[in-house]
Structure 1
Amino acid sequence: MMLALALLCLALALLPACLAAVNLGILRTPEPEAEEPGLVSILIPARNEAAVIERTVRAALASAGIAIEVLVGDDHSTDDTAAIVRGIAAADPRLRLVAVPDLPEGWTGKNHTCSVLAREARGDRLLFLDADVTLVPNGAAGLAAHARRSGADLVSGVPRQTMGTLGERLTVPMIDFLLIGYLPMALMRLLPDPSLGAACGQMILMRAESYAASGGHGAIRTSLHDGVRLPRLFREQGLRTDLVAGHALATCRMYRDFRQSWAGFSKNAREGMATSRALPVWTLLLFGGHVLPWLLLVLALLVGDRPAAWVAAGAALVSLATRAAITLVVREPAATVPLHPATICTALAIQWNALLRPDRAGASVWKGRRYPLAPPGSPPHQGS
């Protein structure tokens, strides 16, 4: 029995290992050409981002190899966000501050702000950046070049994630691990199936024409998880989406401690894994492939079951090697690799907590706003 369980663990560990080997081979950082044609509108939704907005805006304005404009949507900030942006705009006409109207009923704040920014944008490509994302000089040009060469209507990548606390290191690495270890990217590029659509909401480039045709953020107005909903929306309408290696295009520090990390990953859990149908499957895949091997190894050694111990050790090493390979390529801290089993447990705890213990008001709170939780199985988007 123990040997059979160990063999199952090995199979579950080999699945992401094989997918990661393929994905890391085809995922490339896009290279811009000498001068990329067209105008890219860099659109930054901001609500109380005074601590980070100057760095983000100045990095966007330093973009090279392509013509850009930068629009910052001030979503009723109560700090110095707007004043900081106005000060920079006074010296650079490519930057505009857009005052976002009051939030309409039935919208989430980020989607509303992004929709407002898109209406104000003049570019033929729209690059949506979170306010804590710092572009490198050729980041926007690289994304635009890949979109043009590949014919993709939507291109996204995960910025290099910087982490300063244990709480961040126990949570943030799951973004790249899930995308690279569990998304069959070769099939994503080959098949139009909406379920294969994926993006990182921190950095998404879209053709303005395709964005308008799809309904854009207005079509997912109730969502808190644009990284899932937008690419699936595009694919449902026959538009192409793609992923690139984003770690050399931008950096991002999402959170500052475990409390922020828990809240941030909880807010969109029920639009991702945390459904009654999906989460048991993900628990089998993640716990069985990355945590159970270590538990079985200890148990097999204690009871003297050498065959089971060898197989469990193999599964554990495959799991750790997969995580190490992904971590090395995306340039996350190497110190997060030994934390991998704990990271898996933390991710599953967040998802199960979101599914089984939504807060008493039945709502998700983010950036000082409270949103009704979409029930599991609700439609992925609403019409614009």
Structure 2
Amino acid sequence: MFGFAAGTKKCKSRNYPVNDRSNDNTAAIMEETARLNPSIHTIHIDSLPEGWLGKNHALAKGVEQAKGNYFLFTDADILFTPNACSKALTYLKKEQADHLTVSPDLRANSLLLRGFISYFLFGFSVLKRPWTANRSKTAGGMGIGAFQLIKRSCYQGIGGHEKLKFRPDDDLALGERVKRFGYKQRLATGLHSLSVEWYPSLSLAFKGFEKNAFAGLNYSVWRGLFAVICLIMTQLLPYVFLFSSLHSVQIISALNLLLLFCLYAIAIKSLTRCSVFIIAGQPIYALLFVYMLMRALILTWIRGGIEWRGNRYPLHELKQYYKNSKED
């Protein structure tokens, strides 16, 4: 596992890659990179304290070493254009904001996976309403793990990663705390500045979703079942009703699908670099999404928690920590 935090001061950055118990060549690569670049200061973690998730702990350790007035949290596999960070810092200061999170271009090697990614972003937008991040008087908040630039004063004011140590959705939770504590937040798209291969295959995407499914639904089984039912009713059943013997039902179903395609197209144009014609595969992507959600919910329920990076985290502890984090 690999976390990354950067501290900036007077536009000069110090980078703190954190090696969290990796069992591959991560440590050697980090040390060689640091030898060639004096701005890089490596941190190696051998053990995980009780009550922490690995990534959250890694980011917290990076912050302990970082200097300056701004922190940038990102993942190791994000590709940046040369001026991405300077543009983000300029925008943050121009907006007089405390926190800026940026959505990257999610790349995929196959048409099916690109379509599924676009549909996931569409569903995420409907569920979390990310545009509310830019509305000061609206509740919500947004955080995207690919890029989170935050003022030191804001980070400390919301309690840092100490308050997120047992949250699998730490990126989103950080953004929500920023908004809840009254700080100014901005969300931007960085489709031409940041990119990442989300998952190399559908099977790995399904596996990765196991970690965040319940977190995104507030660890509620009933909320999960309700989400599945709503997806089936609004995204799939209208196709069946198109063949109804009742003319009125056919018209209502057609209008429902037309509205669905319009909203889906807006999400594609706003959040991806995919062709808008990818909406033609919507029923296939909807079926895959329902399968992924049901699979994640069932596995989490059977296991009694989530499994991540070789560790198992009990569901009752995740629920309790989620409840406590919402109350402080």
Shorter-chain TM band: 0.7 to 0.9
- Give the corresponding residue for 2:193: 249
| Structure 2 match to 1:238 | 182
Is residue 120 from structure 1 mapped to residue 65 from structure 2 by the alignment? yes
Match of 2:13 among 65, 68, 74: 68
Where do 1:1-384 residues align within 5 Å?
46=2, 66-165=11-110, 168-169=113-114, 171-181=116-126, 183-184=128-129, 187-192=132-137, 194=139, 196-273=140-217, 275-283=220-228, 285-297=230-242, 299-300=243-244, 303=245, 305-334=246-275, 336-358=278-300, 360-373=302-315, 374=317, 376=319, 378-379=322-323, 381=325
Summarize deviations over 1:185-230 as a string: whole Å, max 9, x none: 5654334554x11221222111122112212111110110013211
Task: Tell me if structure 2 keeps the 8 A contact 1:192–1:238.
Answer: no
Aligned residues of 2:268 and 2:274 also touching (Cα < 8 A): yes
**Structure 1: distance between partners of 2:300 and 2:20:** 26
Compute the TM-score of the two structures, normalised by the length of structure 2. 0.85
Number of corresponding residues: 322
1-structure distance, mates of 2:281, 2:13: 40
Alpha-carbon distance between aligned partners in 1 of 2:253 and 2:284, rounded to the nearest angstrom: 17
237-246 or 360-369, larger mean C-alpha shift? 360-369
Cα distance in 2 between the residues matched to 1:103 and 1:141: 33
Q: Does structure 2 retain, via aligned residues, the 8 Å contact 1:171–1:261?
A: no
1:123 and 1:171 map into 2 onto residues whose CA distance is 40
Q: TM-score, normalised by structure 1?
A: 0.74
8 Å Cα contact 2:167/2:318 also seen in 1: no
Q: Percent identity?
A: 22
Cα separation, partners in 2 of 1:148 and 1:293, compared to 1, 3 Å: same
CA offset at residue 231 of structure 1?
1.4
Tell me how far apart the structure 1 counterparts of residues 186 and 222 of structure 2 sit (CA, whole Å): 26
Cα offset for 1:383? 9.6
Does the 8 Å CA contact 1:192/1:235 hold for their aligned counterparts? no
- d(CA) in 2 for partners of 1:138 and 1:380? 39
Superposed CA RMSD: 3.1
Moved more, 322-331 or 77-86: 322-331
Aligned 8 A contact 2:119 2:264 in 1: no
Would you say the 8 A contact 1:215–1:383 is kept in 2? no
Judging changes above 3 Å, is the alpha-carbon distance between structure 1 residues 88 and 186 closer, same or farther for their aligned structure 2 residues?
Answer: closer
Distance 1:336 1:267, change over 3 A: farther
Change in Cα spacing, 1:248 to 1:286, as seen in structure 2 (3 Å) is farther
Q: Is the 8 A contact 2:73 2:146 kept in 1?
A: yes
Shift of 1:139: 1.5
Q: Rate the CA distance shift 1:371–1:220 in 2: closer, same or farther, 3 A.
A: same
Shift of the 280–370 alpha-carbon distance from structure 1 to 2, 3 Å rule, reads closer
- 1:72–1:97 contact (8 Å) kept in structure 2: yes
User: Which residue type is aligned with residue 316 of structure 1?
Assistant: L
Aligned residues of 2:19 and 2:44 also touching (Cα < 8 A): yes
Kept in 2, the 8 Å contact 1:129–1:203? The answer is: yes
Unaligned 5+ runs, structure 2: none
Q: Distance in 2 between matches of 1:161 and 1:78?
A: 27
Structure 1 stretches lacking a partner, 5+ long: 1-44, 48-55
